[in-house]
Structure 1
Amino acid sequence: MSIVPFDALACPLDGTALYREAAAWQCASGHNFDVARQGYVHLLPVQNKRSKDPGDSKAMVAARRRFLEAGFYQPIADAVCRATLDGVPAGTTPGCLDAGSGEGYYLRQLALAAGDAHTLAVLGLDISKWAVLAAARQDPRPSWVVGSNANLPVLPASLDRILCLFGFPVYPEFARVLRPGGKLLQVDAGQDHLRELREIIYPEVRAESAKITQAPEGFRRAGTEDVRFSLHLAGAEPIADLLAMTPHLYRASSEGRARAAALETLSVTVDVCLQTFERCS
């Protein structure tokens, strides 16, 4: 598998093309963005931040890395890789964005799954500088960017695939940067996802699903796959890591978090939906 950087980046201030000059990206208007020594670039303007340090904390990124690298979500990664590579012609170099890439686990899995049949131009983007830093340290081949899905620093119609896994989709932006026929691969929680954990940390569990019933504007539905399996966690650390990498860490009360922290084993249901949407012409 050949991974090359995705270079059709856009200035987050005026939307014009960025060009790499030595250790910085620049646009024709003179805006300059330095490349960190770890290889990533910060393309999230201060005025677009909602907090001083947005996104996952350093501790949350570390927890997600430990949990995912242990292989607990491998069936999800396998399904995403199959759907992403489906229909990619041999001999092409499709552009692929992971919008909310975290510490890069799913992009690394994609590189492993593709073998020698494809070359991918890969961009990993996350609003958390800690996540992007961890990703760049593990694999320097993709382009790594600190940025926001609400204002993707990507040129129009320059991508063939977008991954949005347990993330925050911004469909108008996704439609803008995808080529006609390009695909959005979206993973969302089903109504039973981590139900057993939720029953421990919440006084009442609501039966709800994040699945999308209608294709977003500008897209048509191209496929739906439910991924469901049981997971057994032995030891306090993987249980704590699972809680730390989900929004439940902040939504649960202190009493709920304490109940989870007291567990030594936990069996949970993983229930997610992988939906594929194709960009209309």
Structure 2
Amino acid sequence: MSTLENLSCPIDAAPLRQDGRMLLCEHGHTYDLAKTGYVNLLPVQNKRSKDPGDSKEMVAARQRFLNQGHYAPIVDAILESWPDPHLVDHVRVLDAGCGEGYYLHEIGDALSNQSIQADSIGLDISKWAVLAASKRSKQIGWIVGSNASLPVPDCRFDVVLCLFGFPVFSEFSRALSDDGVLLLVESGADHLIELRQLLYPTIHDYKPTHSDGVLGFELIKEHTQRFTFCLSSQASIQDLLSMTPHIHKASYEGREAVKQLDSIVLTADVKLRWYRKQKGIYHV
């Protein structure tokens, strides 16, 4: 089965079918598959900048960091908390904001080891991220696209993952099956606290997101994953810094202080929240 089946034209939402190295809709819109197999379904008119999303350099830094396995406990926590009804023989998964594909690839491998077939799609607004992801796995369909307008038909997925991303709940609801579930993974109060204490003169109070709930979804499971890890080189520290918003927000003095480090032990504090779609909340 093609990894890019059952998608929609981002211009008119008509079904896309594959014809050789392209996807096309009944109204004549065509989208070429890249050499590595991904497809760009982000129309020019939907871009907010010429090169949206993470830069080529940021993607490379994230790839180097994640490939060292520092965040493997996050993958473990996702799999351990996965709702049982969606651990069936076949599950359709969307990673909305997939980055360079580390999490979706690791999750797919783990599900396969449990004899669960995952029909997996990874989507990101950064073409550099999707290019890197498409080199990581050929068993996953990779799309350049936006969470604000997912190029998929209604009820396309059983599970939507949004890991450290930008959720668009109305679109997630539309793309999920009636009993579908959504996972949000976000930073907790102490995430990378040791690094932040070096970067900033004061640490702002933590404000949890979606504390009043999420429209259209029912919270069914919540989990906190805390662990420590060590970065033993300045290059690794800079890779981590480059893949976070802190690279742009921190003061010059803070960034210079971090440059003096040869190693650092860091706390990871990550919140996982699973939600079940509620029927009839969004009009689709």
Fold match by TM threshold 0.5: yes
Query: What is the correspondence of 1:216-235 to structure 2 with a 5 Å cutoff?
Result: 216-235=214-233
1:106 is the counterpart of 2:106: no
Q: Equivalent residue of 2:86, what SS?
A: coil
Preserved contact between residue 67 and residue 242 of structure 1 (Cα < 8 Å): yes
Query: Higher mean Cα deviation, 52-61 or 248-257?
Result: 248-257
Change in CA separation of 1:183 and 1:73 when aligned onto 2, cut-off 3 Å: same
Q: Equivalent residue of 2:57, what SS?
A: helix
Residue in structure 2 matched with residue 185 of structure 1 by the alignment: 183
Change in CA separation of 1:89 and 1:190 when aligned onto 2, cut-off 3 Å: closer
1:251 is the counterpart of 2:249: yes
Mapped partners of 2:82, 2:14: distance in 1: 28
Please state how far the C-alpha of 1:4 moved relative to its aligned partner.
6.5
Mapped partners of 1:201, 1:230: distance in 2: 19
Preserved contact between residue 66 and residue 102 of structure 2 (Cα < 8 Å): yes
Aligned length: 278
Gaps of 5+ in 2: 280-284
Aligned match for 1:97, one of 71, 94, 99: 94
Change in CA separation of 1:80 and 1:63 when aligned onto 2, cut-off 3 Å: same
Q: Equivalent residue of 1:278, what SS?
A: strand
Residue in structure 1 matched with residue 62 of structure 2 by the alignment: 64
Change in CA separation of 1:275 and 1:4 when aligned onto 2, cut-off 3 Å: farther
Q: Report the AA paired with residue 263 of structure 1.
A: L
Residue in structure 2 matched with residue 144 of structure 1 by the alignment: 142
Mapped partners of 2:182, 2:29: distance in 1: 30
Q: Equivalent residue of 2:132, what SS?
A: helix
Residue in structure 1 matched with residue 260 of structure 2 by the alignment: 262
Please state how far the C-alpha of 1:248 moved relative to its aligned partner.
0.8
Aligned match for 1:74, one of 72, 75, 84: 72
Preserved contact between residue 86 and residue 158 of structure 2 (Cα < 8 Å): no
Mapped partners of 1:84, 1:4: distance in 2: 26
Mapped partners of 2:208, 2:144: distance in 1: 26
Please state how far the C-alpha of 1:235 moved relative to its aligned partner.
1.1
Preserved contact between residue 189 and residue 210 of structure 1 (Cα < 8 Å): no
Please state how far the C-alpha of 1:44 moved relative to its aligned partner.
0.6
Let me know the Cα RMSD of the aligned residues: 1.5
Mapped partners of 1:187, 1:89: distance in 2: 19
Deviations along 1:197-254, one digit per CA (max 9) or x if unpaired, are 1111112111214443233111101100001112221111111111111111111122
Change in CA separation of 1:4 and 1:226 when aligned onto 2, cut-off 3 Å: farther
Preserved contact between residue 188 and residue 210 of structure 1 (Cα < 8 Å): no
TM-score for the superposition, normalised by structure 1? 0.95
Please state how far the C-alpha of 1:116 moved relative to its aligned partner.
4.3
